[in-house]
Each structure stands twice: as structure tokens, then as C-alpha cells.
Amino acid sequence: MTFLDYATIFVATFFLVGLLGLQSKHVQHSKYIAAALTSMAISVSNFVFVHYAATGGALVLAVTAVGGAMGIITSIYVHDNFLMKDEDENISS
């Protein structure tokens, strides 16, 4: 595998896990359109992830673990600080 392959698997895992976390928040808050669009993005990320992870070894596993961890942390931060910010302002008004 090349550096580009490892970068691709990192990015795919980052988005896959991040989108799964974001999807959970969308479902929890009944955001139907956002949940549908997120599902499509999850499918693309999952396709890329499976393509590379199926042929990878221990280094691919390590890259996916780090990408997933960073993806979920980013997802929670973006949701709580940017996506829910508008709703919090509407509730307090």
C-alpha cells in the first residue's frame, strides 16, 4: 500500500465514524432530511472503507482506529457547537 492508500483509508474512516455519530444525533432530534442525506454519505464512506480495509493489515487497522477516534470527536464537536447552536438560540428566545 502507498501513502495515498493509507491517507484514503484514514479519511474514509474519519468520515464514516464521524457521519455515524452525526447520524445518531440527527435521528435523536428527528432531523429527517439531514438523516437521509447523512445515510447517503455513510454509504459512500463505507464503500471506500471496505474496499481498503479488506486488503489491509495491522497498519491499516491502526490508521482506521485513529481515523475513527478523530472522526467521532469531530462529529460531536461540530454537532454541539455548530449544528445545535441555532436550536439552542431558538429555545432561549
Overall domain count for the chain: 1
- The pLDDT of residue 86 is 64
Q: Which of 63, 59, 58, 75 is nearest to 9 (CA)?
A: 63
- The pLDDT of residue 89 is 59
- The pLDDT of residue 91 is 60
Q: Which amino acid is at 33?
A: I
Q: Which of 24, 73, 19 is nearest to 49 (CA)?
A: 19
- What does the alpha-carbon distance between residue 39 and residue 45 come to, in Å, rounded to a whole number? 10
- What does the alpha-carbon distance between residue 74 and residue 70 come to, in Å, rounded to a whole number? 6
* Residue of 83 and 64 predicted with greater confidence: 64
Question: What is the tens place of the pLDDT at every residue in 8-67?
Answer: 999 999 999 999 999 999 999 999 999 999 999 999 999 999 988 888 899 999 999 999
Q: Which of 68, 76, 57 is nearest to 12 (CA)?
A: 68
pLDDT score of 78 more than 90: yes
What is the extent of the structural domain holding 30? Answer: 3-92
